Structure 1
Amino acid sequence: MNMNAIAKQSTVLDIIDEYDRKTANVEAAIKAYDDACTAIEMAGTIMGTYVEPVLRGRAYVHARDMQKNLRASGWKALYNRCQIDRIASAKDKKLFERTLADPPELTFENAKATFGPYLENPRAHILRGLAETFTDLDPAYKSHSKVKIGVKGLPKRVILSSYGSHYGAFGRDKLRDIVNALAAYRGQPLMGHDEYRLIDAAHRNGEDAVLDGRPAPVDRYSQDEEPEPLPNRGMTIRRFGNGNAHVFFAPETLKDINRALAEFYGEVLPDAEPEGVKPSASTAVSKDLQFYWSPQEVIDRALEFAGVYDLREWRHNPPDPSRILEPSCGDGRIMDAIRERGHRVFGIEYHAGRAAEARGKGHNVLTANFLECPAKPEYDMVVMNPPFYGRHYVKHVRHALEFLEPGGVLVSILPATAHYDHGELKGEWRDLPVGSFAPAGTNVPTGLLKIRKEAA
C-alpha cells in the first residue's frame, strides 16, 4: 500500500452515510463487544470455573449513549469538513458547542438547514461575525456614521476585562474572537497555540505582546530552531495590574475593521444623512416614509419590552385588552402579533398598497401620513417601527407620544445611531442583535427605545 497516496476527501453524503450505517449497527457492535469480553473471561478459566474477573474496570456500553455520541460525532465531522469555524461568528460557534450536548438527528435535510446558509453566502456570515465581535466590545462600532469609509471616530483600542484575573478565560476568549473575526475577513489562519505562547511570554516579561508577524518564542519541546513567522494581525496587547488588557490596532487593521463594517452595514445607510446635505422637496417625503418590515424576532422583543402580554396565557382574571396604536404600520406584521395576544390595535399607513394588505388581514387601518394626523391621547401603548432616514424618526416618535394617555408606554424600533450618536430621544434603550433586520434587506444596527408618558 502506498502510504503517500492522497486520501480521498469525504463528502457530506459520505459522512451521513457512515452515520446511518453505524447507527443501524449499534446493537450489533455492543453485542460484539460483550461477546469479546466474555471470550476473554473464558480464556482465563478452566471449565468455566470462576475465580476472579480477568477484565478489570470493564466498561458497560449502553445503546442510547452510543447513539448520542454518534450524533455528536457526525455533526462535529460535518462542521470540520465544511470548515464552519472559518465562517461562523463566535456566537454561532458557542451555540453549536452547546447543541452538541444533545444534538438533533443527523440527516441531509437537517445538515442543509444548519450549515447551508454558511456555505451559500460565507462572506455575509464572516462580516456578521466581525460586526458582532466589535459591537460587543465598544458601542462606537454600533454607529453607522462612524463606519463609513473615510469617517474618523472608531476607537483605536478596545478594553478586555478579566484578562489577567482568576476569570482570565473571559478576556482571552474575547481576544480570540477579535483575532479570528479579522482573520476570517482577511483570509488568514485562525488564532493558534503559538500566538498564545507569544502573548504569555511577553506578558511574563512585563512587555506588550505584539502580533505583527514575528515568530513565536522557541518551544523547548520543538525540534525547530527557527520557528516560522506568525500571521501579522496588526495588534498589540498590553496587560495591566487590574486584570484588564487593552488591544491596540495598527492603522491598517483599523482600516480593515472600518471596511468590513462598512461593507456589512452598507455604504448607503438608511439612517446616515450626508453631512450638510438636505433632502430636496421632491424626495423628502419618500425618504421620510422609507419602509423596512419588522422580522418576527424583532416584533417579539418589542412587544415584550412594551409589556404587551399574551392574554391567552391568563387562566383566571385576565387584564383588559390594551388599546395600542401602530403608526406607519406597513402591511400589518406588528399588528398581527398584537392581535394574536388578544389586544386591540389601530394602524396608520401612508402607502395605500400596504394599508390595503393590512386591512385584508382584518385590521383597522387609516390610510394617511401619520405626521399629518391630529393627535388624540387615547391609547395605552404605541409600538412602532418609524422610517429610519436621517433623523426623521424623531418627529415620528414625538408625534406618537401625543397619542398616549398619561402613564402610557411607547416602544419604538430605532437605528442604533439614535442612542449612540444623536441622543435626541430619552428613555430606556435595548440593543437588538446584529443583523436583526437582515431578512428585511438591511443590516442597519438597531435597538428598542421605551418612553413612558408622565402621569397626569
Structure 2
Amino acid sequence: MNQHTGFARIGTTPEQEARSAPAIRQSLKEIVQRYTAKRDGGAVTRETESGVIEIIEEYQGIEAEARAFADATARVKNASAIGTSWGGDIFLRGHDPEISAERMKAALLRSAWRHVYEGLPVKDCASAKDRKRFDLFFENPPELTLAAIAEHFGAFLLDQRHHILKGLAECFCDLDPAYKSHSKVAIGVQGLPKRIIVNHVDRYLSSWGAERVKDTLNALRVYRGQARMEYGEWSSMMDEARRHGEADFSGGIIRSFKNGNAHLIFDKQGLLDINRALAEFYGEVLPDAPNATEAKRPSTEVARDLQFYPTPRRVTEEVLQRLQLSGGETILEPSCGTGDMMDELADWHNQEDRWKRRTPLFVTGIEYDAGRAEQARAKGHHVMTANFLQVAPEARFDVVVMNPPFYGTHYKKHLDHAQKFLKKGGRLVCVLPATAYYDHGNTIGEWRDLPVGSFAESGTNVPTGYCVWWKPKD
C-alpha cells in the first residue's frame, strides 16, 4: 500500500486487491472531498469505526485564500510606511506580488489528478503511449469526481496485466511489422525476428529512436515484473553502447552504429518472453496460423463461429473519416451486426459542419444473424437478414464499409464479394485482422494499421487494420 494514499500497488494478489478495494474507494473519496473543500471551502470528514463522522481538515477555499493574500500584502505595505510617505520598494522585483484565484484553481485541479495518478497503479502498468497521453491529459483535465476517475483510470485498475501486455505489443509492433502477425506469434519464436533495427538513435536521449528503445526495454522489464529503468541507468547503458559499440540489457544486447542506428538483439530467453507475452495478449482467437486446421466448406457457407466482434466507436470514427463523405451517398454495410457503425452513419448529417448543412446518407445493412438484425432494425436501420455471400450483387452503392468475420481467411470471400456492389468510382473501407495484409496478402488498395488493442472492448486483442480501395471509373 502507498503510505500516503492507501492505494493498492501493482503486484498484489487478487485476494489482497479485494481486501484493499474499500481502502482505495475511501481514499479516492477522501481526495475528491479534499479537492472540493480546498477549492470551494469546507471540511474533510471521515467516519470512525463506531460510525461517528469526524472533521479531520477544514479549508477556507481558494477565493477566500486569494483575498487573504491580497489583505496580507496591503498590511505588509502599511507596516513599512508612515502616512503616505513612500520609503521604497519592499517586494522583490519591484512590484506588488499578485496571485490569480483562477490559476490557483487550475493548479489545484492538475495537482489532484496527478496525485490520484501517482497513487493508483496506473503508470506502473500503462503503456508508453498511454503515459504520454496522460501527460497531455493533465495539462487540462476535467473536473475531479469519482465518476471521472473511474472513466479515465478504471480500465487500468480492472485489468493491469492487459495493459502491461498491450504496452509490450505496442512497442514491438511499432518496431517491426512481423509482430503484427498473431499467427507468427502463435507458432513460436521462429516466427519472430531476433534483431530489430531502430533508426535515429543519436546522441540525444530524447530522440525518436532513443525513446523507442527505452519504451521497448521498459515494456519487457514491466512484463517480467521488474522496475522501469531510472534515467541514470538508461543514460549509462546508452553511453556504454556509443563508447564501446554495444551494451547489455535484460534480454539481450544493444549495438550502436555511427549512422545513428541501433540494433536490439534479443537472447533466447528474451525472445521467448516476448513471444509468450504477445501470444498471451493476442490469444488463440483466430485459427489461421499455418498449423491450424480448418475443414473445407463451400464458398458461400457460413462459418460455425463468425467471430462477431462489434466495431468499437473509436474504430468507427477513424473509418468514417476515411470514407470522405459529402452527403447523400448510398452506403452498404455487410455483416452489420447490431448496427453500431450504422448508428454513427445515421447521425453523420447531424454533426457540426461550419460550411453547410449536411445531406443525410442512405444506409443499408445485411446481417446473417436474425437476432442481431432485429436489434439493428429496432434502432431504425434498414437491414436485410441474409448471408451476404449469397446476396446477388448489384453495382449501385457509392460506398461499402465493412467489418467482416475474422475467422481464418473467410474475410477474403466477403471482401471479394463486396467489390461487386460498388458503382464505378465508389470506395470501400474494410476492417480486417492484420494478418490479412502482413501474412496473407489478401487486402486491396491502401492499408492502414489500427492501434494495438483496438478491438479489446469487443473481446479480441488481435492486431487489426483496414484497407481503403476506390473502384476504377472505367
Of residues 310, 314, 335 in structure 2, which corresponds to 1:328? 335
Tell me whether 1:246 sits opposite 2:263 in the alignment.
yes
Structure 1 stretch displaced more, 374-383 or 442-451: 374-383
Partners of 2:421 and 2:74 in 1: CA distance: 81
Structure 2, unpaired ranges of 5+: 7-26, 41-60, 349-359
Match of 1:349 in 2: 367
Tell me, yes or no, if structure 1 residue 53 matches structure 2 residue 60: no
Question: Which of 12, 19, 28 is the aligned partner of 2:64?
Answer: 28
Aligned counterpart, 1:148? 186
Query: 1:81-106 deviations in whole A, cap 9, x for unaligned?
Result: 11321011111111111122122222
How far apart, CA to CA, are the structure 2 residues paired with 1:149 and 1:263?
12
Distance 1:166 1:185 in 2: 27
Amino acid at match of 2:66: I
1:39 Cα offset (Å): 4.2
Q: Secondary structure at the match of 2:33?
A: helix
Match for residue 416 of structure 1? 434
Distance of 1:154 and 1:401 partners within structure 2: 34
How many residues align? The count is 419
CA contact (8 A) 1:273 1:389 kept: no
1:321-368 deviation digits (Å, cap 9, x = unpaired): 222222222222223333333211222222222222223333333222
Aligned residue in 2 for 1:223: none
Distance in 1 between residues matched to 2:307 and 2:251, nearest whole Å:
40
8 Å CA contact 1:145, 1:151 repeated in 2: no
Equivalent in 229, 250, 257 of residue 274 of structure 2: 257
**Against the structure 1 CA distance between its residues 287 and 115, is the aligned structure 2 distance closer, same or farther, given a 3 Å change threshold?**
same
Say if 1:390 and 1:54 are closer, same or farther in 2 by CA, change over 3 A.
same
Among candidates 132, 154, 170, match of residue 94 of structure 1: 132
- What corresponds to 2:303 in structure 1? 286
C-alpha distance in 2 between matches for 1:184 and 1:234: 12
State the partner residue of 1:400.
418
Query: How many Å apart are 1:22 and its aligned residue?
Result: 2.1
Relative to structure 1, the CA distance from residue 112 to residue 335 in structure 2 (aligned partners, 3 Å threshold; closer, same or farther) is closer
Shift of 1:393: 1.0
User: Relative to structure 1, is the Cα distance of residues 308 and 271 closer, same or farther in structure 2, using a 3 angstrom cutoff?
Assistant: farther
DSSP-derived class of the 2:92 partner: coil
Higher mean C-alpha displacement, 73-82 vs 197-206: 197-206
Contact (CA 8 Å) 2:189, 2:271: kept in 1 or not? no
Cα drift, residue 20 of structure 1: 2.3
Over residues 54-81 of structure 1, what are the superposed CA-to-partner deviations in whole Å (9 max), with x where a residue is unaligned? 2213531111111111111111111111
- Aligned partners of 1:276 and 1:34: how far apart in 2? 75
Per-residue deviation, residues 82-136 of structure 1 (Å, max 9, x unmatched): 1321011111111111122122222222222222221121111212222222212
Report the CA distance between 1:422 and its aligned residue. Answer: 0.8
Determine the C-alpha separation between the residues in 2 that align with 1:439 and 1:269. Answer: 14
Contact 1:327 1:384 in 2 (8 A): yes
Moved over 4 A (4+): 6-10, 165-168
C-alpha spacing 1:177/1:8, structure 2 compared with 1 (3 Å):
closer
> Aligned to 1:390, what secondary structure does the other structure show?
coil
In the alignment, which residue of structure 1 is the partner of 2:43?
none
TM score, norm. by length of structure 2: 0.82
Over the aligned positions, Cα root-mean-square deviation in angstroms equals: 2.5
* Pairing partner for 1:368 from 361, 365, 386: 386
Tell me, yes or no, if the aligned pair for 2:91 and 2:97 is still in contact at 8 Å: no
Aligned residue for 1:192? Answer: 230
Q: Is the 8 A contact 2:73 2:97 kept in 1?
A: no
Q: 24, 29, 37: which one pairs with 1:13?
A: 29
The 1:276/1:9 distance shift into structure 2, 3 A limit, reads closer
TM-score, normalization by structure 1:
0.85
> Contact (CA 8 Å) 1:308, 1:338: kept in 2 or not?
no
Change (3 A) 1:33 1:339: closer
Q: Is the 8 A contact 1:198 1:209 kept in 2?
A: no
In the TM superposition, what is the alpha-carbon distance from 1:437 to its structure 2 partner? 1.2
Q: Which moved more, 1:440-449 or 1:56-65?
A: 56-65
| Aligned AA (2:337) | G
Specify every segment of 5 or more residues in structure 1 that has no aligned partner in the other structure, as ranges. 1-5, 212-232, 312-320
Decide whether aligned partners of structure 1 residues 271 and 323 sit closer, same or farther in structure 2, where only a CA change above 3 A counts.
Answer: farther
Deviation of 1:197 after TM superposition, in Å, equals: 3.4
2:189 and 2:245 mapped to 1: Cα distance?
32
Aligned to 1:225: none
Which secondary structure state, in structure 2, belongs to the residue aligned with residue 147 of structure 1? Answer: helix
Contact preservation (8 Å) 1:324, 1:381: yes
Give me the whole-angstrom Cα distance separating, in 2, the residues matched to 1:104 and 1:276.
48
Per the TM alignment, residue 42 of structure 1 is displaced from its structure 2 partner at its CA by 4.2
Q: How far does residue 280 in structure 1 lie from its aligned partner after superposition?
A: 5.6
Deviation at 1:151, TM superposition (A): 4.9
1:8, distance to aligned residue in structure 2 (A): 5.8
Whether the aligned pair in 1 keeps the contact of 2:287 and 2:293 (CA below 8 Å) is: no
- 3-state SS in 2 of match to 1:331: coil
Please name the residue that 2:409 is paired with.
391
Amino acid at match of 1:398: D
Structure 1 residue 271: deviation in Å?
5.7
Q: Counterpart amino acid of 1:329?
A: C
Structure 2 residue 75 is the aligned partner of structure 1 residue 68: no
Q: Secondary structure at the match of 1:128?
A: helix
Relative to structure 2, which stretch is displaced further, 71-80 or 41-50? 41-50
How far apart, CA to CA, are the structure 2 residues paired with 1:95 and 1:350?
Answer: 39
CA separation of 1:60 and 1:288: change in aligned 2, threshold 3 A: same
Q: Are the aligned partners of 1:376 and 1:403 in contact in 2 as well (CA < 8 Å)?
A: yes
Which amino acid counterpart does residue 138 of structure 1 have in structure 2? Answer: D
- The share of aligned pairs that are identical, in percent, is 45
* Contact 1:322–1:380 (Cα < 8 Å) also in 2: yes
Q: Deviations over 1:212-266 (max 9, x none)?
A: xxxxxxxxxxxxxxxxxxxxx2232222112222222222121111111111111
Query: In 1, distance between residues paired with 2:111 and 2:416?
Result: 55
In the alignment, the residues of structure 2 paired with residue 167 and residue 197 of structure 1 have an alpha-carbon distance, to the nearest angstrom, of: 7
> CA separation in 1, counterparts of 2:347 and 2:106?
38
Q: Deviations over 1:354-387 (max 9, x none)?
A: 2222233333332222212222222222111111
Pick the aligned partner of 1:120 from 127, 135, 158: 158
CA displacement at 1:159 relative to structure 2:
2.7
Displacement of 1:184 in angstroms is 2.1
2:323 match = 306
